[in-house]
Structure 1
Amino acid sequence: MQFSESASSVVPGLHGRVLGVLARTDRPLTGRAVAALLRTPASPSGVQKVLDDLVGNGVVIAEPAGRARLYTINRDHVAYNAIEQLAGLRELLLERIKTEADSWELPAKAIWLFGSTARGQGDADSDLDLLIVRPDDVDDSDPRWLAQLDTLSAHASLWSGNSCEVVEYSAAEIRDLVRHGERLVTELRQDAVPITGSSPRQTLNRKAG
């Protein structure tokens, strides 16, 4: 999956990327504004060509604004629901992970997305990085716990098309990382996206331990 511009995972090229930008806003945008909002650069002329094509198919509405034209996605078009889902694939993936984790026999203290996918920079070759905090009263060799981790990793890879890498720490180990000021803690504080359980802010607070 292209985590940075998820619509392009199914609608390849600039068309998917432009649709993703327009699906994420209600605000009319000029062609140059659409180009500026793309996660990876594209020429204004290339974006304009795509917009003209999408307008021709009725997927995008163009309205004059002085010498410019303003573009909005056509939410009445029969394709809109599909486009909206494509633009929200990352959120759908995280919801699937949360649903599975919330059904675990041995619940995690927390599960967070981190790394490039959390920063919105991941592409089809990026790993899907999950940090899982294990309760202190659950042994790291408990077969039930290990089976949960393996199943979630396999499912997340299947759902996204990306390799899922699980990093696991006990709650006590997380507290040690915080006390020692490890670089991972700084990264998690900046970028981690909570999926289920306690938030990074709650867990990584120096006073919490």
Structure 2
Amino acid sequence: MQFPEPVSSVVPGLHGRVLGVLARTDKPLTGRAVTSLVRTSASPSGVQKVLDDLVRNGVVIAEPAGRAKLYTLNREHVAYSAIATLARLRELLLERLKAEAESWEVPAESVWLFGSTARGQGGSDSDLDLLIVRSDGVDESDPRWLEQVETLTQRATLWSGNSCQVVEYSAQEVRDLIDRGERLVTELRRDAVPVAGTSPQRTLTRKAG
């Protein structure tokens, strides 16, 4: 999945990136504004060609504004619901991960997304990084626990197209990381996205006991 521009995961190239920009706002945008909001480099002429094509197909509405034109997605177009869903792929993935983790027979204390995908920077070649905090009373070799983690890993890869990598700590190990002032803790405080269980903010402000 292209996490910065989810629409591009299905609509490759500049078309997907332009649709992603328009799907993120209700505000009419000039062609120049669309160009500035495309996350990867694009020429104004290239963006304009894409906008003209989308207008011809009725997916985008163009309205005159002096010498310029203002562009918005046509929310009445039959394609709009599909485009809106594509723009929400990251949120939909998080919802699936949450539902899976919350269904576990042996609950995790926390499941967080971290790394480049949490920052919205990961592309199709990026790993989907999950950090799982295991309760101290659960043995790391418990077959039920291992099966749950493996299932989540496999499903996350199928749902996103990205290789899912899991980092696992016990609750005590997390407290030890906090106590030692490990760099990972700083990164998690800054970037981690809660999926299930206790949030990074609450967990990572606890004092070692």
Report the TM-score, using the length of structure 2 for normalisation. 0.97
Which residue of structure 2 lines up, in the alignment, with residue 172 of structure 1? 172
The separation in 1 between residues aligned to 2:91 and 2:77, in whole angstroms, is 23
Tell me, what secondary structure is at the counterpart of 1:63?
A: strand
Deviations 1:17-51 (A, max 9, x none): 11111111111111111111122121111111101
Amino acid at match of 1:44: P
In structure 2, the CA distance between the partners of 1:37 and 1:208, relative to structure 1 (3 Å rule), is: farther
Which residue of structure 2 lines up, in the alignment, with residue 146 of structure 1? 146
The separation in 2 between residues aligned to 1:208 and 1:92, in whole angstroms, is 35
The separation in 2 between residues aligned to 1:186 and 1:36, in whole angstroms, is 32
Question: Is the CA contact 1:7–1:86 (under 8 Å) kept in the aligned structure 2?
Answer: yes
Which residue of structure 1 lines up, in the alignment, with residue 103 of structure 2? 103
Which residue of structure 1 lines up, in the alignment, with residue 2 of structure 2? 2
Question: Is the CA contact 2:189–2:201 (under 8 Å) kept in the aligned structure 1?
Answer: yes
Tell me, what secondary structure is at the counterpart of 2:29?
A: coil
Which residue of structure 2 lines up, in the alignment, with residue 32 of structure 1? 32
Amino acid at match of 2:127: D
Tell me, what secondary structure is at the counterpart of 1:72?
A: strand
Q: In the comparison of the two structures, how many residue pairs are matched?
A: 209
Deviations 1:106-153 (A, max 9, x none): 111111111111111111100000011111111111110010000000
Tell me, what secondary structure is at the counterpart of 2:2?
A: coil
Which residue of structure 1 lines up, in the alignment, with residue 44 of structure 2? 44
User: Structure 1: where are the runs of 5+ without partners?
Assistant: none
Which residue of structure 2 lines up, in the alignment, with residue 70 of structure 1? 70
Question: Is the CA contact 1:179–1:206 (under 8 Å) kept in the aligned structure 2?
Answer: no
Which residue of structure 2 lines up, in the alignment, with residue 203 of structure 1? 203
Question: Is the CA contact 2:109–2:197 (under 8 Å) kept in the aligned structure 1?
Answer: yes
Q: Once structures 1 and 2 are overlaid, which stretch shifts more, 8-17 or 29-38?
A: 29-38
Deviations 1:55-83 (A, max 9, x none): 11110111111221111111110000000
Tell me, what secondary structure is at the counterpart of 1:140?
A: coil
Amino acid at match of 1:42: A
Question: Is the CA contact 2:179–2:207 (under 8 Å) kept in the aligned structure 1?
Answer: no
After TM superposition, give the deviation of residue 196 of structure 1 in Å. Answer: 1.1
Question: Is the CA contact 1:134–1:168 (under 8 Å) kept in the aligned structure 2?
Answer: yes
User: Structure 2: where are the runs of 5+ without partners?
Assistant: none
Which residue of structure 2 lines up, in the alignment, with residue 59 of structure 1? 59
- Structure 1 residue 163 and structure 2 residue 159: aligned? no
- Structure 1 residue 117 and structure 2 residue 117: aligned? yes
The separation in 2 between residues aligned to 1:207 and 1:151, in whole angstroms, is 32
Amino acid at match of 1:6: P
Amino acid at match of 2:98: K
The separation in 1 between residues aligned to 2:34 and 2:195, in whole angstroms, is 30
The separation in 2 between residues aligned to 1:172 and 1:7, in whole angstroms, is 40
4+ runs of 1 displaced by more than 3 Å?
206-209
After TM superposition, give the deviation of residue 171 of structure 1 in Å. Answer: 1.1
